[in-house]
Structure 1
C-alpha cells in the first residue's frame, strides 16, 4: 500500500513523455517551459505596448522591479553593474514564472526537473566566465584563479566547477520537496489543508528565484572586484 501511494505521488511530480520529435522524446518539462515563455512574451508585450513618460499600472510595477535590481547591482558590483541588468532581470522573471507555474491546472513546474535547473546553472556560470574574460582579458582571467595566493589555484578552479552543481541542486531540491509536500497533502486531504502550503510555496518560489539571481550577481562581482 505504501509503495502504491508513493508511485501515485511520483506520477504527480515527475515529467511525462508528451510526444516524439523523430527518435527524440519530448517531455512535459520542455512543453511547459515553452508555454511559460509564450505567456511571458505575451505579458511583456501587453505591459509595454503603451509606455508613457509618467508610469502607471503594469509599467509602474515593471519600473519599480527594474529600479530594485538596478540598486542591487550597483550596491554589490558598482556603477558598471547596471550593464548586467538584462541577464539578472531575465533570470529572476523566468525562474520565478517557472517556479509558480504549478498554479496552472495540470502543469508540472519545469524547475522540478533537474535537467532544467542544471541548464540554468551551467548557462549562467558560462556567461559569468565570459563576463570575467571580457572584464579582465584572458591573462587577467587566468591570473584571477591564482588570487589571493598562487597555491589556491586548484581550489579556485574547483570552486568554479562546483558552482553550477550547487546552483542546480539548490533550486531543484527546494522546488521538488515543496511540490512533494503539497501533492502528499492534497492526496490525503484534498481541500483546505494544502492551501497554506501553497501560499508558502509562492513565498519559497520567489525566494529561490531571488537567491539564484543574487548568487549570479555575487559571482559576477567576484570577477569585477576580485577575491
Structure 2
C-alpha cells in the first residue's frame, strides 16, 4: 500500500556505524523544523501592532496556550512556555505533513514520538530534582508506603509509552485510512477524511502538549506549595 511512493508504516533505511536510520523520518523532521523556523522568522519580521492574517492565527494560538499553561502549571509555567509552545507547533506541522501528497508525517514513526515523550519525562525529572532535591523529588515513589514502589515505577515507565503510542497510532492510522478510502471510494470520501485529518492533527498535537504540561506541573507545582507554606 503506497503513500507518495512509500509504503505506509515502512521506512527508507540507512545503516551507519551499526546504527539504522529511517531516512524519510529524518527528512520530514528536518523539513518540519525548517518550516517552523522560517515561518517564525516571517511572522516576526511582519509583526504589526494591528494584527491581520497569519498574525491573528499565531496570536490566538500563543494566547490560548499561555492561558492553559498558566492555569495548569501556575506562574512558573512561563519557564517552560517556550518549550511547550514549540512542541505544539512542531507536532502540528509534523502531523499535517502526512496529508500532503508525496510526504509523510515524522510522527507516524514511533522513534519520533517516543523520542519526544522521553525528552519530556527527562525534563520533568530534571525540574523536579532542581526544585526539590534528588531525595525529595523521588520520595513519591514510596508513597503512601514502600509497597507501592513497584506500582509507581511501572506507572512512571508507562508515561512515555502511552504518550508516544497514542500520537503515533492516530497519525499512522489516519494516513492508512486516506489511502484505503482513496482506493475504495475515490475523490469524495478521501477529501472528507482529509479535512477530518486536519482536525485530528490539531487535537493530537494538543493532547500530547497538554499531557506534557500536566507532567511538568507535577514537578513544578509542589515547589510553589512549599514556598507558600514557608
Q: State the secondary structure of the residue aligned to 2:96.
A: helix
Counterparts of residues 184-223 of structure 1 (less than 5 Å):
184-223=180-219
Q: Structure 1 residue 20: deviation in Å?
A: 6.5
Give TM-score, length-normalised by structure 1. 0.86
Q: Structure 1 residue 63: deviation in Å?
A: 2.6
CA distance in 1 between partners of 2:17 and 2:141 (Å) = 44
Q: Structure 1 residue 150: deviation in Å?
A: 4.2
Picking from 23, 34, 39, the partner of 2:35 is 39
Deviation larger for 134-143 or 14-23: 14-23
Counterparts of residues 115-126 of structure 1 (less than 5 Å):
115-126=111-122
In structure 2, the residue matched to 1:14 is: 9
CA distance in 2 between partners of 1:36 and 1:89 (Å) = 15
Q: State the secondary structure of the residue aligned to 1:190.
A: coil
CA distance in 2 between partners of 1:219 and 1:78 (Å) = 13
How far does the alpha carbon of each residue in 1:94-124 deviate from its partner, in whole angstroms, 9 at most, with x for none?
Answer: 0111000023320011111111111111111
Give TM-score, length-normalised by structure 2. 0.85
**1:94 aligned onto 2:77:** no
**1:68 aligned onto 2:73:** no
Q: Structure 1 residue 155: deviation in Å?
A: 2.1
Change over 3 Å in CA distance of 1:21–1:120 after alignment to 2:
same
Residue segments in structure 1 that go unaligned for 5+ positions in a row: 1-6
Deviation larger for 55-64 or 69-78: 55-64
Residue segments in structure 2 that go unaligned for 5+ positions in a row: 223-230
RMSD (Å), alpha carbons: 2.3
**1:27 aligned onto 2:52:** no
